[in-house]
Amino acid sequence: MKVDGKPMRTIWVEPDGRSVGIIDQTALPHRLTTARLTTLDEAAHAIRAMLIRGAPLIGATAAYGVCLAVRQDSSDDSLDRAYAVLIATRPTAINLKWALDEMMAALRNRPRAERSTAAYRRAAEICEQDVAINTAIGRNGLPLIEAIAARKKSGERVNVLTHCNAGWLATVDVGTATAPIYLAYDSGIPLHVFADETRPRNQGASLTAWELGKHGVPHTVIADNAGGHLMQHGLVDLVIVGTDRVAANGDVCNKIGTYLKALAACDNNVPFYVALPSPTIDFTVVDGVAGIPIEQRGADEVASMTGRTADGRIETVRIVPEGSAVANYGFDVTPARLVTGLITERGVIAAAPAALAGAFPDRAGKAE
Amino acid sequence: MKVDGKPMRTIWVEPDGRSVGIIDQTALPHRLTTARLTTLDEAAHAIRAMLIRGAPLIGATAAYGVCLAVRQDSSDDSLDRAYAVLIATRPTAINLKWALDEMMAALRNRPRAERSTAAYRRAAEICEQDVAINTAIGRNGLPLIEAIAARKKSGERVNVLTHCNAGWLATVDVGTATAPIYLAYDSGIPLHVFADETRPRNQGASLTAWELGKHGVPHTVIADNAGGHLMQHGLVDLVIVGTDRVAANGDVCNKIGTYLKALAACDNNVPFYVALPSPTIDFTVVDGVAGIPIEQRGADEVASMTGRTADGRIETVRIVPEGSAVANYGFDVTPARLVTGLITERGVIAAAPAALAGAFPDRAGKAE
C-alpha cells in the first residue's frame, strides 16, 4: 500500500540481491524505520522480537530466513538448523510452519549448488502468493461492505471494527482484515474504522491506525474495553479481524481479546467476520479451543508501555506496581459458533468443518 | 485498610478541623502522595481531574466540597453554587447526586451560623456510613467465596477477577468489590485476584494492584483483553466488580469494558457479581442500557499513557499516531440478564426490579 504517496511493502530483497529489507514495526507509529537482515539469526530475532509480526508476514520472513541460512551454508545440517531456529520463534503462528515446510520441500532434494537460488525464488513466490491471496480476500469481502452501504442513508458511513493489526503491515501487502476495507474505501464507499488499541502491544493504536491514516481511511482509536458499548448502541455495522490459526472445526485463534469482541457482536447481532489466507487453516487441529497452544509472552509487555514524549523521545514507562505479578497470554480462541463467516481467497465460507474441508479439499486431505 | 502496616483512609479532615486531606490517586502506584483541599474549587478539581475517583469516594469528596464552600460563605447562593459546581464534575456518578442532596437536606433549613458545623458533621456521617455499608457488603459477599473454597482441593486458590478499582481507594475505606475479598483473605481463605489493568486510565494496574499488594493479597495484573481466555480455561471462579450506577431494572453501569467481562462470564458459566452500596441504585432510571448517560472523556486518556521510567521519572508518552481520531467512552452498561447477583449491604439480591424494590423499599418509593 502507499505511505505518503509512495508504494511500499513490509519485506523485500535489497538491491544486493541477498540481504532482506523489512519495516521495523517496533518504531511505528512514531518513526518509519527499515532494517536489513543478513543472517538466519537476524531473521529469527526479527520474528521473535516482533520487528515484524502478523501470521502471513511471519511466514514470509521465515522463508527469507531460510534463504539467508542457505546462502551462508547450503548443507542439510544448515537447512535443519534453520528450520529448528525459525519454528521456535512464535509457537502460535501456523503460517510459520507452512512457509518453512514449503521451503524445505523446495530445497531438500535439490543439489547444494542450486539451493540458494531456489530458496530466494521460492521465498519470492510465497510473497507474491500472499499478495494475490489478500487481493482475492478483498474482492470476496467487498460485497459484505457494499450490502451494508446500500442500506445506509446518503452520507452515512459504514462502521467497521477491527482488533489488533491484520493490515498490510501484518502481511507482505494489502492485509487480510483490511483488504475489503481498502477496496471499499478505494471504490468510494463512505467508511469508518474503529481500531481497538489492542493491549498489551498496542498493534491497533500503533500499526492499524498508522496504516489506515497513511492511506487516508477515516478511523478512530478506542480502548479495547469500548467495543461492547459501541455495538450495544448500534455504532458498529460489522467486525472484521484477522487470525493466526483457524482449526478444522472453524474455531479462530487470534490476538488476545478477539473472543470478547465476538461475544459482544453475537449479543448485539453484529456480523463478525474473520479474514484469512488458507495457509492459516490448521486441519490437524480438530478443536481450536482445546487444541491450539496459547503463547505466553513476557511480563514487560503488560507492565510497561512505550511511546513518544512531548519532546519527541521514545520512552518506556512502567504502569504496574513493583512486586505485582503479571500474566501475558498472547492469543485467545473464538469458538466457531460466534463467527458469522470466514473471508478466504476462495470466497466467504461458514466457520464449520464441512465448509472448510469443502473449500480447501487439497489442504484438508493432507492433514488426514 | 493498611499501607505498609499503617491504617489509612482515602479522605479525612486535617488537624486544623477545616481543610480536607485526600490521597492523590493520580500519583499511584509509583508514589503515595496526599493533597489538601481548602476550597470548593479545589474539591471540584479533585473530582474532575480524578485525584479521587470511585462512586462512593466521589460522593464523600463532594460532601466535603460543600463543607469547604459553606465555611467560606454560608449563604443560600453559596449552597446553590456548590451544588451546581460539584454536580457537573462527573455526570455518571449517582452517589455524587445522592451525597449532594443529603448535604442540602441537612443544611438548607438551618440558620447560616450553624451551617458550617452541620456540614462537617453530615459529611463525616456520610463517610462513616460508607465504611459501615462496605463492611456489610464484605460480610454478605464472604459466603460466596467460602462456598467456592469449600469445593476446592486442599491448597487450591479461589480465583477472583475484578475490573477497574472498586477497592478501598474507590471508597472511604474497605471498598465494595474488594470487601468480600479482603474479608476472605483476612480469614485465611487461599485467594488470588486477577486485576484487569482497565484502560484507558489503568485503575486496575495502578490502584487495585497497589492496594491488594499493600494488604498482601496475591494478585496478577492482566490486559483487559485476557479475561475471556482465562474464563474459557477455568482459571476464574467468580467475577466481582463495582458499579457507578445501578438502574431500577438491575442494569449495571460500570467502567468501560465491564460488559465484555460479563458476556465472557455468562458464556463460561462463571458467576458475575456486582458489589454496591445502596446509594448507587438509581430508581429513577427504569432501563439502564437505554437511560444511563455515558460520560465521554478526553482523548488524551486513550492517546497517552503515564508511568515511571527506568530512572524513576514520571513521564507521559503518546501511543496513537498524530492525526488519528480517538474516542473515550468512560462507562458501559451491563444488562441485568448477565448479572448473577448484587452484593449489597442488605444481602445478595437478584439484579431485577422486584428484588431491588423489595430490598430497598425506602429508596424505591422515593423515586416514584
pLDDT of amino acid A95: 86
Distances (CA, A) of A273 to A261, A334, A339, B12, B360: 11, 11, 6, 53, 45
Say yes or no to pLDDT of B368 above 70: no
| Cross-chain Cβ contact B225/A256 below 8 Å | yes
- B205 and A319 within 8 Å at the Cβ level: the answer is yes
Across the range A93-119, mean pLDDT stands at: 95
| B90 shares its domain with B223 | no
Q: A165 and A91: one domain?
A: no
Say whether both A123 and A160 belong to one domain.
Answer: no
Report which residue type is found at A1: M
The yes-or-no verdict on residue B141 having pLDDT over 70 is: yes
Across the range A297-318, mean pLDDT stands at: 95
pLDDT digits (tens, 9 = 90+) for A109-130: 999 999 999 999 999 999 999 9
Average pLDDT on B350-359 reads 97
Secondary structure (3-state) at A309: coil
Same domain, A173 and A89: no
- A266-291 pLDDT per residue, tens: 999 999 999 999 988 999 999 999 99
Cβ–Cβ below 8 Å for B220 and A310: no
The answer, yes or no, to whether residue A4 has pLDDT greater than 90, is no
* pLDDT for A367: 61
Helical segments of chain B, H only: 40-48, 55-72, 76-87, 94-107, 112-151, 178-186, 203, 209-215, 227-232, 258-267, 288-291, 300-303, 353-359, 361-367
Cβ separation B232–A259 shorter than 8 A: yes
Within 8 A by CB and 6+ apart from A46, the residues are A22, A35, A37, A52, A61
| Amino acid symbol at B283 | F
In whole angstroms, give the CA distance from residue B116 to residue B94: 24
**Count of Cβ atoms closer than 10 Å to residue A113 Cβ:** 8
- Cα separation, A224 vs B186, whole angstroms: 34
* Closest chain A C-alpha to B6 CA, distance in angstroms: 19
- Number of domains chain A contains: 2
Contacts of residue A311 in chain B, CB cutoff 8 Å? none
* Residue-level pLDDT at B182: 97
Please report the pLDDT score of residue A339 as a whole number. Answer: 98
Are residue B118 and residue B147 in the same domain, yes or no? no
Confidence of residue B2 (pLDDT cuts 50, 70, 90): confident
Which pTM was predicted?
Answer: 0.94
Question: Is residue A1 pLDDT above 90, yes or no?
Answer: no
A252 and A337, same domain (yes or no):
yes
- The per-residue pLDDT for range B231-278, each reduced to its tens digit, is 999 999 999 999 999 999 999 999 999 999 999 999 999 999 999 999
pLDDT confidence bin for A295, thresholds 50/70/90: confident
For residue B195, what pLDDT is reported? 98
Both B263 and B162 in one domain: the answer is yes
Complex confidence, ipTM: 0.93
- Taking contacts as CB-CB distances below 8 angstroms, the residues of chain A near B225 are 198-199, 224, 255-257, 260, 332
Instruction: Over range A174-201, report the average pLDDT.
Output: 97
pLDDT category at A368 given cuts 50, 70, 90 is low
Task: Give how far B17 is from chain A: nearest CA, Å.
Answer: 34
Name which residue leads in pLDDT, A155 or A238. Answer: A238
Which residue in the set B202, B213, B228 is minimally distant from A260, CB to CB? B228
Domain CATH number, residue B68: 1.20.120.420
**In a 3-state reduction of DSSP, which class is residue A131?**
helix
- Check whether A210 has a pLDDT greater than 60: yes
Contacts of A323 in chain B (CB under 8 A): 213
The confidence band for B95, taking pLDDT boundaries of 50, 70 and 90, is: confident
Tracing cell 458459566 back to the chain, one arrives at B269
How many angstroms away from the CA of B100 is the closest CA of chain A? 29
Last residue of a domain, one of B105, B128, B151: B128
- DSSP bridge pairs for B219: B193
Band of pLDDT at residue A2, cut at 50, 70 and 90: confident
User: Is the domain of A97 the same as that of A199?
Assistant: no
Q: What CATH number has the domain bearing residue B296?
A: 3.40.50.10470
Q: What percent of chain A shows pLDDT beyond 90?
A: 92
From chain B, the residues in CB contact with A310 under 8 A are: 316, 318
What is the pLDDT confidence band of residue B23, given thresholds at 50, 70 and 90?
very high
Question: What element of type H or E holds B282?
Answer: strand B281-282
- All three cell numbers of B232, joined, read 474459557
The count of CB pairs under 8 A between chains A and B is 232
Mean model confidence pLDDT for chain B = 95
Domain boundary among A128, A158, A185: A128
Select from B320, B322, B328 the residue whose CB has the most chain A CBs within 10 Å, as the one to mutate to test that interface: B320
Q: How far apart are CA A325 and CA A339, in angstroms?
A: 33
Cα B159 from Cα B180, distance rounded (Å): 13
Residues of chain B in contact with residue A210, where contact means CB-CB under 8 angstroms, are: 321, 324
> Is the per-residue pLDDT at A45 higher than 80?
yes
The b-or-e profile of B316-340 (16+ CB within 10 A means b, else e) is bbbbbbeebbbbbbbbbbbbbebbb
CA–CA separation, B272 and B74 (whole Å): 46
Percent helix / strand / coil, chain A, rounded to 5: 45, 20, 35
In this complex, do B230 and A329 lie within 8 Å of one another by their Cβ atoms?
yes
> pLDDT band at B367, cuts 50/70/90?
low
Together in a domain, B109 and B141? no
Closest CB to B263 among A210, A213, A267: A267
| Of A128, A152, A178, the domain-final residue | A128
For the annotated catalytic residues of A, the residue numbers are: 244
In 3D, which of A356, A328, A196, A213 has the Cα closest to residue A265?
A196
Nearest to A232 among B199, B232, B289 (CB): B289
pLDDT tens figures, B206-236: 999 999 999 999 999 999 999 999 999 999 9
The stretch B85-100 carries a mean pLDDT of 89
In three-state secondary structure terms, B33 is: coil
Which domain, by its residues, includes B335? Answer: 137-367
Closest CA relative to residue A331, chosen from A178, A201, A209? A201
**Does pLDDT of B51 surpass 80?**
yes
The number of CA neighbours under 13 Å toward the Cβ of B98 is 26
For B268, name the nearest residue in chain A, comparing CA atoms only.
Answer: A263
Same domain, B124 and B141: no
> Do A260 and B260 make contact, defined as CB atoms within 8 angstroms?
yes
Determine the 3-state secondary structure of B161 from DSSP.
strand
pLDDT in tens, B284-324: 999 999 999 998 999 999 999 999 999 999 999 999 999 99
Q: For residue A320, list chain B residues with Cβ-Cβ distance below 8 A.
A: 29, 197, 205-206, 209, 221
Using DSSP's 3-state secondary structure scheme, residue A13 falls into: strand
Q: Identify the bridge partners of residue A246 per DSSP, sorted by sequence position.
A: A252, A281
CB contact under 8 A, B317 and A294: no
B185 and B117 in one domain? no
Same domain, B123 and B141: no
CB B299 within 8 A of CB A226: no
> In this structure, are residues B279 and B246 in contact, taking their beta carbons and an 8 Å threshold?
no
Average of per-residue pLDDT values in chain A: 95
Task: Identify the three-state secondary structure at position B13.
Answer: strand
